[in-house]
């Protein structure tokens, strides 16, 4: 059983961003599986690290595309990214320092709720704007991929 499922209504109609979101869902499901099956603190910690790394990578891409097309609400969007990165880093750091202080199910619920609310709320807001600037978005995505040849592993 997966804890979170991608649905077509979550699409922002930018293939690379949709792919990133699907990878984030996959990582959340790996976290859920690690916790559910009691795979141990090392596995949980590794999945948290991968989730943080991929979240940072995805936010960089999303912000680069928003910047390239002149998305007017970019500052507020960047702020929501900054808040989540800080929260996830804090969770990971607490987990590394003392795994017993982290309630894995609560962390999973928080991340699942945040991701779906962010995609269906904040990200959906830029979707029509980016669609109207498809050429700029495609060029920025190509530049991003060239500059960041190696994406963190999402498997």
For 152, which DSSP code? P
Read off the pLDDT of each residue in 109-137 and give the average, rounded to a whole number: 92
Burial 17-36 (b: 16+ CB within 10 A, else e): bbebbebbbbbbbbbbebbe
Q: Residue 137 CB: number of other CB atoms within 10 A?
A: 24
Q: pLDDT band at 155, cuts 50/70/90? A: low
d(Cα 135, Cα 57) in Å, to the nearest integer?
22
Tokens linked to 70:
């002149």
Pick the closest to residue 14 from 154, 133, 155, 152 (CA basis): 133
Read off the pLDDT of each residue in 124-136 and give the average, rounded to a whole number: 94
pLDDT, position 83: 92
Q: Residue 138 CB: number of other CB atoms within 10 A?
A: 17
- Residue at token pair 């995805």: 58
- 11-147: CATH topology is 1.20.120
| Res 85 pLDDT > 80 | yes
Q: For residues 37 and 147, is the Cβ–Cβ distance under 8 A?
A: no
Question: CA 120, 81, 32: angle at the middle one, nearest 5?
Answer: 65
Read off the pLDDT of each residue in 103-110 and give the average, rounded to a whole number: 82
Q: pLDDT band at 2, cuts 50/70/90? A: low
Report pLDDT digits (tens) over 38-71. Answer: 887 787 788 888 888 898 999 999 999 999 999 9
Tell me the domain boundaries of the chain: 11-147
Q: pLDDT band at 98, cuts 50/70/90? A: confident
| Res 102 pLDDT > 80 | no
pLDDT, position 104: 77
């Amino acid at each position: 059983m997966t804890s979170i499922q991608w649905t077509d209504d979550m699409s922002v109609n930018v293939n690379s961003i949709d792919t990133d979101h699907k990878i984030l869902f996959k990582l959340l499901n790996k976290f859920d599986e690690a916790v559910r099956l009691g795979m141990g603190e090392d596995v949980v910690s590794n999945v948290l690290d991968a989730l943080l790394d991929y979240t940072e990578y995805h936010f960089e891409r999303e912000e680069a595309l928003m910047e390239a097309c002149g998305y007017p609400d970019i500052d507020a969007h960047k702020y929501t990214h900054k808040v989540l990165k800080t929260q996830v880093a804090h969770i990971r750091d607490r987990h590394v320092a003392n795994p017993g202080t982290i309630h894995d199910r609560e962390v999973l619920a928080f991340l699942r709720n945040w991701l779906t609310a962010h995609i269906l709320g904040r990200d959906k807001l830029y979707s029509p704007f980016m669609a109207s600037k498809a050429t700029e978005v495609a060029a920025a995505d190509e530049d991003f991929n060239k500059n960041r040849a190696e994406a963190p592993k999402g498997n």
